[in-house]
Amino acid sequence: MVQWNPASYDGPTVPQRPRSHQVSDESRRAFERALGHWVFRPEQPDYGIDGEVEVFEESGKSTGLRFHVQLKATDGTVEQARSVRIERDTARYYHALDLPVLIVSYHAPSETLYARWFQELNPPTDDEGDGTITVKFDDANRWTSETPSGLVRDLVLRRTLRSGDIPTPIFVAVDRQPSDIHPVLVHELTSLLAPLRGVVELTSEKSRALASIVVRPRKLAVELGREISRSMGLPENVKNYRVLAADTLLLLAHALGRARQSSLAAKIALAVADEATIFERPEIFGNLTKYLAEGHRLADALELSDRLATKYGSTWAGESLRTLALMTEAMSAAEAGYYEKYLDREIERAESRKDKLQIGIAYYNRGNYRRGTGRLRDGIRDYLIAARTDATYWDRDYFCAELGGGFFGAKRFKCAVACYQKSIDLGAGLETRALLADSMMFAGQYKNAKEEFGHYLDKTKELAPQWRLKNWALTKLLEHGVEAQTRQTRAALSLAGDPDTLDDALKLDALCGLAWFNKGANELPDKDRRVASAYYLMAAVCQDWDLQAWRNAFGLAMEDKEDETAPYILLAAYEVHGERFIQELSAGFNGPVDKRAEYIGHVRHLISELLPHKQGPREIRWLGPDSEYVRFDLRSGEVTHRKSGTQSDEGPNRETQRAKGTRGDQLE
């Protein structure tokens, strides 16, 4: 039996609290004392954020300003307190938050706080993987009695930038460190900003400045608050302060674009781009082009491109700005007029320099634009001038295909056949073979067209409803022994209005849509509706503009459960006419309103299920050695290198080639 000795008992064991917990509490108390009359609200539970601070005035009135806080603490060295690590997943979370995150580090031995906005750091990229990032503090981040007022300035500026409505003029402070460095720069900045008075002005009062220009011996930075900063290195001896001032203001435009202030960015860039040297840097002109696109500043971009071309000739920056015309889905009349005048001036500049390469490019670009806007004959003329000036165009598959599209739209089908065939011989993709078949069909080469459609449909993975219906129509013609024909379109139309001469019309032109439509009408209502369906479909295929032919063909095909063409008719009609076809179906529906709504809903469901949304390519091209050209897709960012005569599995989009035009421009 164990005996208890009272003399040996020292009392109950008290668990010791870890020092890390004590330091954490100390850091929180120190931080709350430093906040003064601001309110700190702890987060429970803590998911990487210790709490939220709301900023109050001394009177107790709320300012509406708030921010998150993450507290770190250490008993270690000052160096350890001035360097804290954050998990990458947590960092991504911080950057996704609406409120900024203040990282605070507490050094317990000296009772010193350091504070820095996490948003000053660049966001972690998706491909950086897991691990941690380091937040470093220096003497400027030490918490002092001035820190709260600085945080308020940062928060107010952040709120202003995010409001999307920045009042003008924008005040900019120049902070030279040391204060006597580069005094001429301020003079040149003032001179360059004179035409922008009321938009951007310098100020000596940092408290009212929206932006700061920080000048150091070997570095210059433009800062918009703590989140947006753009910088560049400085040479040991600056030789041209005018150029340096222009480059500085271009950095300011770049930063404002990053803050979604596209209009202000455009105004500043237009004022200084002529004298700036950093404009040719991809990170400058590429991003500025992007900002102008987001702000729908096409006219500004074209004006700037025009001025650069006038002063320097063809430059990467100037051409990048012009690509906004390629990315713009619908130009206003004013923008379209400005863009065509720009293209005219490009031709004048190239011809004045007697540079055949640039003359060819300028005519090609204008031809592509004109074809894309429906001025087919003018576009074809420009294409042919480009090829006559620079014969290497005939060695480029995309050029031959685009010229073929122009000829097809102008109903010069034999010329279209020749162009598409040459494009295929030069290595064009599979879709061009379908375009060739289409051209052969309307050129009266029915048997050859059927063979080409067969090659295409055997290899394509696309649903291709229009091509499949045309292949079906050619099958019907060949079954009646019509393999080729010199189409006599006008003569056929003169007979197509008389029920007694419809077959005579088709002997003159087997693709006379009016004759097929009237044959369909003759089969209704008392005759064979299946035959009528086929006739209406022939009419729709031959003249795809005919909404009534598409509607009748689809309605009759839906009646026949054995007819497998109905889905293809629906999708082909929608590809050609879009919502107009849906409206036509709705108008032609006979029945109660609720049944009509149910029917149209079913139709829309079929379209969305079977016809995925596609965006045609928008690309620019530039030339390389040995007739190589590089394609850059403006939507995907994909870059491909091609040489004339090489095979490619990718082809141009039909809608882009025929209807809108591939606004693909060459850059040299």
> What is the domain-level CATH number for residue 264?
3.40.50
Domain limit, last residue, from 154, 181, 206: 154
Co-location of 37 and 120 in the same domain = yes
Quote the pLDDT of residue 613: 55
Domain limit, last residue, from 276, 303, 321: 276
The answer to whether the CB of 135 falls within 8 A of the CB of 52 is no
Record the pTM. Answer: 0.61
Quote the pLDDT of residue 80: 93
Range of the domain at 176: 164-276
Burial of 81 (0-12, 13-18, 19+ CB in 10 A): buried
pLDDT < 70: residue spans in the chain: 1-20, 45-46, 122-130, 314, 316, 326-330, 612-668
Domain limit, last residue, from 154, 185, 204: 154
Quote the pLDDT of residue 98: 86
In a domain, 75, yes or no: yes
Which long-range contacts link 455-462 to residues 24+ away (Cβ below 8 Å)?
Answer: 456/430, 456/431, 459/430, 460/430, 460/431, 460/434
Co-location of 148 and 225 in the same domain = no
pLDDT digits (tens, 9 = 90+) for 75-120: 999 999 999 999 888 888 888 888 999 999 999 999 999 999 998 8
The answer to whether the CB of 404 falls within 8 A of the CB of 384 is no
Classify each residue of 277-291 as buried b or exposed e, where b means 16 or more C-beta atoms within 10 Å of its C-beta: ebbebeebbebbbbb
The answer to whether the CB of 536 falls within 8 A of the CB of 513 is no
The answer to whether the CB of 494 falls within 8 A of the CB of 508 is no
* Overall domain count for the chain: 3
> What is the domain-level CATH number for residue 125?
3.40.1350.10
pLDDT digits (tens, 9 = 90+) for 408-463: 999 999 999 999 999 999 999 999 999 999 999 999 999 999 999 999 999 998 88
Quote the pLDDT of residue 654: 29
